[in-house]
A and B are shown apart, each in its own frame.
Chain A
């Protein structure tokens, strides 16, 4: 419970700072939030007891703590990266207290969600991750797109949570319990339970943006402020995947043959559709949105078959994905804040003016594309291995083909930055220390996770708990 308590304390402190400082004296907000959250992240790594609380509504295990720590690191990066955007305009800056509060409370929701032991906690955690973020997506009052993103996010999230709730209510009807542990001992074999599973799956798949529940993703990411998009695409998605794994392996473990089939098909179409759309995007945020959809399509490869190795592979992949995706979004955010440019052809010749930014971008994209020896390659490789060991050769083949296609569009960006020439490239951007630090953490993450084999072994030992 320490993670959540620390986060709540941090959120309250931020509120106090927000209330106690005057309008013209807000400059301490950003450093305060960064220091506070670094502290929270650090404390999260201290050893902690695991077990059940609140009569089983709240669980922790080594793996859940690992997940929470990964989310903490990701949010830390997001908070650091947000500094540039918050300083960008007075209005944003004025909102910074509320911004940090909402980000942290959303993280509290995620922590409770992945720790939840019953559906009520799960549902409330899920809503806590989404509803405040929808407000953040719409925060840029001057931009129409921001409001559009907010309204699309909140309405489609409302629909999906309605569907999810309907599924939960049917589960309750058939099993009489809302606790994961007592549901998992039930042998689900009626078609009504199948229906409930599909409804619940839809609700969670919406958050992960698996096709065909993905359509909100691109519009919301494009319209929302970059940092909110990066939060949604990395942290929010990762937490939804964690809870999906937990649900599939506890509540629905008797339906394993069903969810294997469902995951099989969604994986195939998600990868393909994500790739086909990503190929033709010009706006970088939209491009990264579709790339994140395609990335999500690889995750079922680890879950399918339900092995422990697969779970470790998924967590490993997600950890790398968080760093790589935040790295890419960080560069997009730095450029967007400095020049307002978000289109791919405006990135032409970036290497000449901003070699460091372009190298970070290249590294992140290579990691997303899965080019060895960057970390992303191992993430994908372990996923492929996990599915191949289970005998899903055709799925692995499709996935490998899709990974290859994805390379094409990641390279389009690399080409724009390194090879294409431009008459008026983006001018040299002098980044502040926050941006630099945020990108540095991402780069270190990508490199260290890829080259330190011990991390995977650690994940593997932690994932026995599920």
Chain B
């Protein structure tokens, strides 16, 4: 078998880049750090393409099955004979795929940032953290051991914290970075405890053993039960909580929209393509364990995913900040991936959902990164995020416009763009298992098309708005990235993904299911048309509806009568009665619960500060009283 040892270079080079630019970045011109970091990502991207080529086409398949290859494994800390923490690199279809996605998107973001961050005071720091993040993310996907995953998982969290907080002079950015970190950390609690449980019952941290369907881990672990569910189910649900935190599943999603305060390329990298899908990736990584030992945990995954995708899609319709729309759209799309994993079985065709989920992860990374970078290009041009202050930008920014349109079509699921294929596979997989979830996902597909085109029309069409200075197209270095990603988004769907990725490594083939595809396209087109009607044509702009409603009898003579009733239903009833309350619920109830916890902690700490009064005698009093209390307590406990 081919020796893949050279893959070690991919993370290592990034790590050294980080250390180098972190320590010496202030010694030379900022541009130098940018170039060093970009070059090292380029190198790792090239190596990972080469690895992917070698793996998928030459050495990876043995007897028609993709192998799991431990390229390198080093026993680090040993607990006992079976339980140890290892470091190493694991190659299998999904890790190679993720490696390609991460290096590609990261490379694009690096190049883009050269233009976008020009003149920023923290230029070299920014690039060194980008390298750190990319390193951590690669470490996460390539790890051989769930413990190693956890470590990189935390490292990813820290580096994203540092990146989101980049604009330190904006208080909102600082509080957002804190929130992102704290929410995900609390979710990671679940992850850590889940790992502890898993290791206790399965007796290993190693992915090879954990996910081997015939291995001891799966066979042994189902027996112990705790509060009605098997212990392994608890462990897997706890791990899912960790995943939900990283992947912004309800109700742990609250950090993601706020995290949009960071620089836009960071949003593209972290909050669209890589970090937020880590949760999906981890569940896929542990997939055999979920399928064989705990269908209940998978049910949880599917339902949380479905609910989140609907919830976030509805909220996305009400947002007016371009990045927040994209943020909610990301949450919604990750929900899609979760649903798909949740309904999947194990095997080649059985595991269609697994494949579809990974496929969607792949295409989503491309078009969502494109959307974010396009949004960044717009923000770069007019220095605002509010879509109501934008309009008719297609005139000023033709390249951005076209690429953005491609991305919107892709996410809406219009053939032959990439999103269509992956979404179609997901819907096929879901309808086979659960008709209710299918209904939800089908609806979400329509809403997705609607809010994306609402965004698109408001920004690029509509009337010219007053701009402080004329919007201009972005520098070439940024446009290159947009065009490259647009090409990827357009063509990625044509990859026969099932030939490469499946739950048990056996390639299979899929085809388009017309009976699903056509209604899906239909609802997507309906969504686009609705958005077109509402936001493109000035004649029925939402403002006008108000007037016309007061004069219903006159409208009866109008041609637009049907239109307006329709608009009344959608706009007044659906929008005001569903979307707005859902968004309100999200803003106030979910958010405030989290804020409330923080507030309570602060409050308590303020109240007890008088314990530390600086008075020696009070200290002594507390000491003596505490001692007597402890004695009485133990005495009581012994007598009882």
Contacts and interface: CB of A to CB of B under 8 A. Distances in A.
Contacts of B162: 418-419
Interface stretch (A42-50, A78-86, A209-217): A209-217
Contacts of B181: 407, 411
A405 B158 contact: no
B391 interface: no
B182 interface: yes
B76 A276 contact: no
B631 A397 contact: no
Given A276-B605, A356-B23, A404-B189, A213 B634 contact: no
A384 interface: yes
Contacts of A378: 77
A431 to B, nearest CB: 15
A438 to B, nearest CB: 19
A377 interface: yes
A1 interface: no
Contact of A202 (B602, B609, B627, B637): B627
Nearest to A152: B616
Given A156-B623, A194-B631, A355 B77 contact: no
A355 B22 contact: yes
A interface: dominant SS: helix
Given A371-B154, A400-B192, A156 B619 contact: yes
B185 interface: yes
A378 B181 CA distance: 21
Contacts of B608: 273, 276-277
Contacts of A351: 125
B266 to A, nearest CB: 14
B633 interface: yes
Contacts of A258: 634, 637-638
Interface stretch (A111-119, A297-305, A451-459): A451-459
A448 interface: no
Nearest to A206: B623
Nearest to A272: B604
Contacts of A405: 601
B275 to A, nearest CB: 16
A212 B623 contact: yes
Interface in B173-208: 174, 177-178, 181-182, 185-186, 188-189, 192-193, 196, 200
Given A156-B623, A400-B192, A419-B162, A261 B637 contact: yes
A160 B606 CA distance: 28
A373 interface: yes
Give the interface size bracket for A toward B.
35 or more
Contacts of B633: 261, 265
Interface centre among B22, B77, B79 (most CB of A within 10 A): B77
B602 A453 contact: no
Interface in B11-32: 22-23, 25-26
A191 B635 contact: yes
B602 A279 contact: yes
Contacts of B627: 163, 198-199, 202, 213
B461 interface: no
Contacts of B65: none
Contacts of B328: none
Contacts of A195: 631
B219 interface: no
Chain B interface, DSSP helix/strand/loop, else mixed: helix
A213 B22 contact: no
Given A156-B623, A213-B626, A372-B154, A355 B26 contact: yes
Given A156-B620, A373-B151, A280 B605 contact: yes
A155 interface: yes
Interface in A362-384: 366, 371-373, 377-378, 384
Given A156-B619, A206-B623, A277 B185 contact: no
B611 interface: yes
A407 B635 contact: no
Given A202-B627, A419-B174, A453-B75, A212 B154 contact: no
A396 B186 CA distance: 14
Interface string A186-220: 00000100110011011000100001110110110
B622 interface: yes
A189 B103 CA distance: 66
Nearest to A199: B627
Interface in A124-146: none
B604 A276 contact: yes
B630 interface: yes
A384 to B, nearest CB: 7
A156 B616 contact: yes
A420 interface: yes
A258 B633 CA distance: 10
Contacts of B625: 212
A420 B221 CA distance: 48
B189 A419 contact: no
A159 interface: yes
B161 interface: yes
A419 B173 CA distance: 10
Contacts of A401: 189
Contact of B623 (A160, A372, A404, A457): A160
B138 to A, nearest CB: 15
A90 B381 CA distance: 60
A465 to B, nearest CB: 20
Given A397-B193, A407-B185, A277 B609 contact: yes
B33 to A, nearest CB: 13
A338 interface: no
Contacts of A421: 168-169
B286 interface: no
Nearest to A353: B26
Contacts of B155: 371-373
B150 interface: yes
Contact of A453 (B23, B78, B188, B623): B78
Interface in A148-171: 151-152, 155-156, 159-160, 163
B168 A400 contact: no
18 contacts: A191-B635, A198-B627, A212-B622, A215-B618, A258-B637, A261-B634, A277-B608, A359-B23, A366-B158, A385-B79, A388-B196, A388-B200, A404-B185, A415-B177, A415-B178, A420-B168, A451-B76, A456-B77
5 closest pairs, A vs B, by CB?
A212-B626, A372-B151, A215-B619, A453-B77, A276-B605
Given A277-B608, A400-B193, A419-B165, 20 more contacts: A156-B616, A156-B620, A198-B634, A215-B622, A262-B630, A355-B26, A356-B23, A359-B22, A359-B23, A371-B155, A372-B155, A396-B196, A405-B601, A407-B181, A415-B174, A415-B178, A419-B166, A421-B168, A453-B75, A456-B77
Interface of A: 151-152, 155-156, 159-160, 163, 191, 194-195, 198-199, 201-202, 206, 211-213, 215-216, 218-219, 258, 261-262, 265-266, 273, 276-277, 279-280, 351-352, 355-356, 359, 366, 371-373, 377-378, 384-385, 388, 396-397, 400-401, 404-405, 407-408, 411, 415, 418-421, 451, 453, 456-457
